[in-house]
């Protein structure tokens, strides 16, 4: 009896971690399970509509941002498809793309679309085909901060750019004070943290800075951090941990890290009537303005970082599953299509709603499903 009870407790704890961590695009677990659908009933319900094709082991790697969503998807899928084992490693977008281009994985998760040179390289791995981007899940990149006595902080793009480029060094700087007239800002030194690893989160954050504060952000958006200023830590787990324990710290990471660690987040002055908070609903409003810029079966999106729509949070992230349009390995193709079909389905997308992720707009999701069906 004791052993059975212990096993039950372990199972419950595992389920809570897998779900609650998926509060937003993230790589680490969370301890908030509100709105999640990871009970055995939820998993069974989702699994009931999954079509199981293929068998064996499916290897994939990449984005840490989608790790918790992937955990839940894999759990639901494998509950239905006993003959398929899925092993997704959250190695980061850059590493995931590299492994895919080396032919080591069936697909990769990436928080930014393939670059032209990566598409060209994929053609040598995918005979007769090439790598394509299939958007699968979105969410907000929060700006988390640690500043005692300041519970409501508003910043704009120009101020953020100067903070992360080392041009604004104190929290009571006039530029910050102008945006926070009711706050008692201390003269504490700003400790700006950035990712030390190549990260799609970094690339999306710097795309926002470049698009909205070009004069104050002279760097080309990239997975690798360009400025020489600031301090670094590995992964979203690393930078959020530094913010949590360092007075005066600020960094960027998926919202779930802020939620799980009780880290305060910045509201953005976008030019709308009111500053916008980082929430999944507000991220969805921004993602809804995205345009498909990919060609053929590629569905790469162009986000509108300059949106001034009411309630639209512009620092958003879209994670793609990168797969071959043709030339995929015959022994994993059926299982790959089966799994991707599930996560792009209404069932797969609906489990994201209570977890801080932003499900795909219906029109984009429909095109993703159509393209998955045509993979060969």
Instruction: Identify the pLDDT of residue 354.
Output: 67
Q: What is the spatial distance between Cα 177 and Cα 267, in angstroms, rounded to a whole number?
A: 14
User: Strand pairing of 131-145 and 264-265?
Assistant: antiparallel
Instruction: Identify the pLDDT of residue 36.
Output: 35
Instruction: Please list the pLDDT of the chain residue by residue as tens digits (376 residues).
Output: 434 444 443 433 333 333 333 333 433 333 333 333 333 333 434 455 899 999 999 999 999 888 889 999 999 999 999 999 999 999 988 899 999 999 999 999 999 899 999 999 999 999 999 999 999 999 899 999 999 999 999 999 999 999 999 999 999 999 999 999 999 999 999 999 999 988 889 999 999 999 999 999 999 999 999 999 999 999 888 999 999 999 999 999 988 889 889 999 999 999 999 999 999 889 989 998 899 999 999 999 999 999 999 999 999 999 999 999 999 999 999 999 999 999 999 999 998 876 768 888 888 999 999 999 999 9
Instruction: Identify the pLDDT of residue 224.
Output: 94
Three-state secondary structure of the chain = CHHHHHHHHHHHHHHHHHHHHHHCCECCCCCCCCCCCCCHHHHHHHHCCCCCCCCEEEEEEECCCEHHHHHHHHHHHHHHCCCEEEEEECCCHHHHHHHHHCCCCCEEEECCCCCHHHHHHHCCCCCCCCEEEEEEEEEEEEEEECCCCCCCCEECHHHHHHHHCCCCCECCCHHHHHHCCCCCCCCCECEEEEECCCCHHHHHHHHHHHHHCCCCCCCCCCCCCCCCCCEEECHHHHHHHHHHHCCCEEEEEEHHHHHHCCCEECEECCCCCCCECCCHHHHHHHHCCCEECCCCCCCCEECCCCCCCCCCCCCEEEEEEEEECCCCCHHHHHHHHHHHHHHHCHHHHHCCHHHCCECCCHHHHHHHHHHHHCCC
- Per-residue pLDDT tens over the stretch 138-151: 989 999 999 999 99
Q: What is the spatial distance between Cα 358 and Cα 316, in angstroms, rounded to a whole number?
A: 10
Query: Do 319 and 137 contact (CB within 8 A), yes or no?
Result: yes
* Averaged pLDDT score across all residues of the chain: 87
Q: Model's pTM, two decimal places?
A: 0.76
Exposure b/e, 338-355, CB count within 10 A at least 16 = b: bbbbbbbbebbbebbbbb
Instruction: Identify the pLDDT of residue 119.
Output: 97
Instruction: Identify the pLDDT of residue 200.
Output: 86
Q: Please name the residues in contact with 258: beta carbons below 8 A apart, sequence gap of 6 or more.
A: 142, 144, 240, 264, 265, 278
- Per-residue pLDDT tens over the stretch 263-301: 999 999 999 999 999 998 899 899 988 999 999 999 999
Instruction: Identify the pLDDT of residue 199.
Output: 87
């Amino acid at each position: 009896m004791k052993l059975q009870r212990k096993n039950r407790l372990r199972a419950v704890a595992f389920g809570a971690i897998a779900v609650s961590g998926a509060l937003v695009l993230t790589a680490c677990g969370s301890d908030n399970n509100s709105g999640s659908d990871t009970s055995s009933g939820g998993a069974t319900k989702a699994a009931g509509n999954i079509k199981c094709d293929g068998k064996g082991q499916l290897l994939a790697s990449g984005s840490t941002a989608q790790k918790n969503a992937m955990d839940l998807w894999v759990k639901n899928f494998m509950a239905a498809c006993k003959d398929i084992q899925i092993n997704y490693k959250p190695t980061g977008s850059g590493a995931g793309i590299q492994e895919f281009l080396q032919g080591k994985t069936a697909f990769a998760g990436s928080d930014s679309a393939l670059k032209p040179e990566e598409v060209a390289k994929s053609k040598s791995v995918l005979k007769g085909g090439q790598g394509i981007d299939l958007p699968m899940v979105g969410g907000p990149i929060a700006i988390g901060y640690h500043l005692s006595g300041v519970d409501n902080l508003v910043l704009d793009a120009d101020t953020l750019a100067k903070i992360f480029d080392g041009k604004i060094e104190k929290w009571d700087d006039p530029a910050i004070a102008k945006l926070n007239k009711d706050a008692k800002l201390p003269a504490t030194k700003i400790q700006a943290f950035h990712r030390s690893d190549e990260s799609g989160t970094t690339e999306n954050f710097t795309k926002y800075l470049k698009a909205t504060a070009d004069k104050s952000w002279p760097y080309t958006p990239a997975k690798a951090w360009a400025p020489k200023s600031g301090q670094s830590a590995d992964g979203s787990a690393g930078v959020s941990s530094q913010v949590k324990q360092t007075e005066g710290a600020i960094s960027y990471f998926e919202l779930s890290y802020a939620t799980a660690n009780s880290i305060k987040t910045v509201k953005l002055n976008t030019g709308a009537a009111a500053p916008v908070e980082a929430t999944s609903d507000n991220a969805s409003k921004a993602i809804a303005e995205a345009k498909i810029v990919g060609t053929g079966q590629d569905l790469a999106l162009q986000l509108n970082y300059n949106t001034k729509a009411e309630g639209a949070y512009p620092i958003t992230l879209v994670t793609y599953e990168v797969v071959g349009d043709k030339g995929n390995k015959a022994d994993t193709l059926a299982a790959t299509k089966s799994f991707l079909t599930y996560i792009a389905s209404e069932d797969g997308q609906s489990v994201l709603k209570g977890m801080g992720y932003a499900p795909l707009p219906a029109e984009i999701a429909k095109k993703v499903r159509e393209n998955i069906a045509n993979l060969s």
